[in-house]
Structure 1
Amino acid sequence: MTIDIQPEPAIELDADSLNSKWGFGDGDALSDWWWDNFDEDIPYPEDDVLYALVVEYLKPRLRAAGWDVNLVRIETIHNPVRAESINGREVDWYASSSVEYDPKITVRVTRSQIDDLMSRLGYDTNQQDRSTK
């Protein structure tokens, strides 16, 4: 008997998205991924989750690769988490290639990691309505 174990779905976050107004799927990558994989709306505030994931997982990877990234959160219908400056240089969110990461820098994060992070940040991860702290 063969048991086919599927890996837990993971969202891939890329450093290039920090440099664009339209990054992270124009701000919808997380909610789209959540819906596609779990057939429900994300149970946390999307912008809070995305920012927390970038700080917890992507920024350390950038730092390890020698990139000093200053993040900013923006209230917008587009990408809410962006690099304000990289290695002291201001980022132009409208330029197609203001910074080139070579090699590309990405992280993969699972729902378990998201739930764990949100729990550590004080969000209720056990209730049906988990949209508030």
Structure 2
Amino acid sequence: MQTLPLELELAVSKITAQYYLHKRYKLIFKIENNCIDIEFQGYYTEKFFDSGSRPSNPIHDFYRDKTADFKVGYGYGQLSISGWWRGAILTFDYYTKSWSNEDGEEISCPYPDGEKFQQIAAALYPLLQQHY
């Protein structure tokens, strides 16, 4: 199994931390034929509970925030980001700079999260292009 280069993993984590200040992400990836899919599993970082009742493992299910999950797909120069937004899966295609819903219909950029995804895509594109 191929591994995600450490410098790429750190750079990707740094990028997402800029846009989601109170979240951390566990990266799950799959690499096939020079294409990569990365699932970003969201976890809370804020200390909502007293320290005695919290698990010490930062990626314990106690901290899990499934509403912050999203996926990035990159291959053959094309990048897309998909995630839940108000009960629907929306996808941003970096190549065409367009948004679509889960039925494939083109939609306008969702506010305010859509702008974050577009900025994340712009930051990720050169990194993924360099590695894949």
State the TM-score, normalizing by the size of structure 1. 0.27
Structure (1 or 2) with the greater helix fraction: 1
Larger relative CO (CA 8 A, sep 6+): 1 or 2? 1
